[in-house]
């Protein structure tokens, strides 16, 4: 039989070991809770600090505000005897109230996720709509030229820009389509023909926010077929020559304002002359990212114009940029 003192000693040692293990467990548990609590406290303090500094937490459903876009305004040039109104040069017009109300209903924020720091990327923005015919176009595009996502060392990404439909069934269908393909940028504005300007502005703002490493942005309507190999050739050419402020397309000159019909000129200010500056036809044109960033600032500080292709041409003229005409845009 074991001596009583030895038995008590074994029990005492066992009890000490148990208490020690329990204390370690408690310490680890408290430590984990403390770390989680500390992380939560730090996050809350950061949000409070941002709020006190006038900075809002990141909201991926909100395009970058005009206040942020216009912190550095591009330099404009008012040439002698130029035909444009002064509002396109002094950048004092204010569209903040309208543009800052726009939200992304759908936004494929990971579409342009970098594969590497050396990645060369071209973004194609396609003006589409919520009609049934729009879905037919998108389906055909995805199955054809937009199916090319890599070409000669370049990444190609495509996204469709839509407005908001009043038809609940169509909105539901768009939601399902967006979840399936992750390539739809839908804004909270209307989806009519006269919303082309809204769609173009939203596409460029989205590009600056989520795809800023793209070298070239091609903007087309959904009834256009894009020659991806040719697009890549342009991208490579401009990349090798380190070209900036690129505005490329089929350039029209000395075009008079349309006074009626589908293409009727719309602008909130009066024009002393009824002739547009040179502009690239709206079926398809390309701009470099640095120019898109300048245009985003000017959208906030110049009068809106319809058609949108004329609007881009007016701002490009104010920036004193010479367009690149190309016979390939046919």
Query: Is 45 in the same domain as 156?
Result: no
Query: Is 119 in the same domain as 245?
Result: yes
Query: Is 29 in the same domain as 153?
Result: no
Query: Is 224 in the same domain as 178?
Result: yes
> CA nearest 46: which of 35, 34, 37, 55?
55
Answer whether residue 330 is part of any domain.
no
Q: Tell me the longest C-alpha to C-alpha distance in the chain.
A: 117
Query: Is 26 in the same domain as 102?
Result: no
> CA nearest 122: which of 312, 289, 251?
289
* pLDDT at residue number 79: 63
* pLDDT at residue number 302: 94
Residue 44 has pLDDT above 80, yes or no: no
Q: How far apart are CA 178 and CA 107, in angstroms?
A: 8
Residue 30 has pLDDT above 90, yes or no: no
Higher pLDDT, 87 or 51: 87
Comparing 43-47, 156-160, 311-315, the range with the smallest average pLDDT is 43-47
Burial category of 328 from C-beta neighbours within 10 Å (exposed 0-12, middle 13-18, buried 19 and up):
middle
The CATH number of the domain holding residue 271 is: 3.90.550
Higher pLDDT, 24 or 228: 228
Query: Is 253 in the same domain as 315?
Result: yes
* pLDDT at residue number 102: 97
* End-to-end Cα separation, the chain, in angstroms: 105
Q: What total of structural domains would you count in the chain?
A: 2
Query: Is 239 in the same domain as 277?
Result: yes
* pLDDT at residue number 296: 98
Residue 24 has pLDDT above 70, yes or no: no
Region 208-215: what's the mean pLDDT?
97
Query: Is 178 in the same domain as 279?
Result: yes
* Strand residues in the chain grouped as ranges (E): 104-106, 120-127, 150-151, 154-164, 184-190, 216-221, 247-252, 279-288, 324-325
* Strand residues in 50-118 grouped as ranges (E): 104-106
Q: How far is CA 77 from CA 28, 180, 316, in A?
A: 66, 46, 10
* pLDDT at residue number 14: 54
* pLDDT at residue number 327: 80
Tell me the pLDDT of the chain averaged across its residues.
84
Region 138-161: what's the mean pLDDT?
98
What would the two tokens of residue 260 be?
């009626």
What would the two tokens of residue 47 be?
């949000």
Query: Is 109 in the same domain as 158?
Result: yes
Per-residue pLDDT band for 16 (boundaries 50, 70, 90) equals very low
* pLDDT at residue number 5: 47
Query: Which residues make Cβ contacts (< 8 Å) with residue 32, sequence separation at least 6?
Result: none
* pLDDT at residue number 101: 97
Helix, strand, or coil (residue 27): helix
Query: Is 140 in the same domain as 7?
Result: no
Residue 20 has pLDDT above 60, yes or no: no
Region 217-233: what's the mean pLDDT?
97
* pLDDT at residue number 28: 42
* pLDDT at residue number 262: 74
Query: Which residues make Cβ contacts (< 8 Å) with residue 253, sequence separation at least 6?
Result: 278
Most confident of 19-28, 74-83, 318-327: 318-327
C-alpha 113 chain-centroid distance: 13
Q: How far apart are CA 77 and CA 136, in angstroms?
A: 43
Q: How far apart are CA 122 and CA 293, in angstroms?
A: 15
* pLDDT at residue number 261: 75
Query: Is 43 in the same domain as 101?
Result: no
Q: How far apart are CA 284 and CA 280, in angstroms?
A: 8
* pLDDT at residue number 45: 47
Residue 315 has pLDDT above 70, yes or no: yes
Q: How far is CA 241 from CA 207, 238, 327, in A?
A: 23, 5, 21
β-partners of residue 150 are: 155
Comparing 1-10, 194-203, 230-239, 262-271, the range with the smallest average pLDDT is 1-10
Higher pLDDT, 102 or 44: 102
Higher pLDDT, 33 or 278: 278
Higher pLDDT, 81 or 162: 162
Query: Is 75 in the same domain as 20?
Result: no
Region 17-45: what's the mean pLDDT?
42
Answer whether residue 278 is part of any domain.
yes
C-alpha 258 chain-centroid distance: 31
Tell me if 244 sits within 8 A of 290, measured CB to CB.
yes
What residue numbers bound the domain in which 233 lies?
66-325
pLDDT tens profile 168-185: 999 999 999 999 999 999
């Amino acid at each position: 039989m074991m001596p009583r003192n030895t038995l008590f000693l074994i029990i005492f040692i066992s009890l000490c070991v148990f208490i020690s293990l329990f204390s370690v467990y408690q310490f680890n548990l408290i430590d984990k809770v403390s770390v989680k609590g500390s992380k939560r406290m730090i996050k809350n303090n950061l949000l409070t600090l941002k709020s006190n500094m006038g900075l809002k937490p990141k909201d991926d459903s909100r395009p970058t505000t005009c206040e942020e876009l216009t912190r550095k305004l591009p330099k404009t040039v008012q040439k002698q005897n130029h035909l444009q109104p002064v509002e396109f040069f002094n950048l004092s017009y204010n569209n903040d109230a309208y543009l800052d109300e726009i939200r992304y209903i759908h936004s494929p924020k990971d579409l342009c996720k970098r594969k590497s720091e050396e990645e060369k990327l071209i973004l194609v923005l396609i003006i589409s709509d919520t009609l049934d015919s729009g879905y037919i176009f998108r389906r055909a595009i995805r199955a054809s030229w937009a199916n090319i996502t890599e070409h000669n060392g370049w990444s190609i990404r495509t996204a469709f820009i839509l407005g908001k439909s009043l038809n609940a069934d169509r909105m539901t269908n768009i939601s399902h389509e967006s979840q399936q393909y992750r390539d739809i940028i839908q804004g909270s504005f209307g989806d009519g023909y006269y919303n082309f300007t809204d769609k173009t502005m939203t596409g460029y703002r989205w590009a600056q926010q989520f795809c800023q490493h793209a070298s070239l942005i091609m903007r087309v309507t959904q009834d256009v077929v894009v020659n991806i190999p040719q697009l890549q050739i342009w991208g490579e050419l401009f990349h090798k020559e380190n070209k900036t402020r690129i505005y490329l397309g089929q350039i029209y000159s000395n075009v008079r304002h349309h006074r009626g019909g589908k293409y009727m000129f719309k602008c909130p200010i009066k024009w002393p002359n009824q002739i547009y500056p040179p502009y690239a036809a709206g079926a398809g044109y390309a701009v470099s990212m640095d120019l898109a960033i300048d245009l985003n600032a000017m959208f906030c500080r110049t009068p809106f114009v319809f058609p949108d292709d004329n609007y881009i041409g007016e701002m490009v003229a104010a920036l004193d940029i010479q367009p690149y005409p190309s016979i390939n845009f046919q």
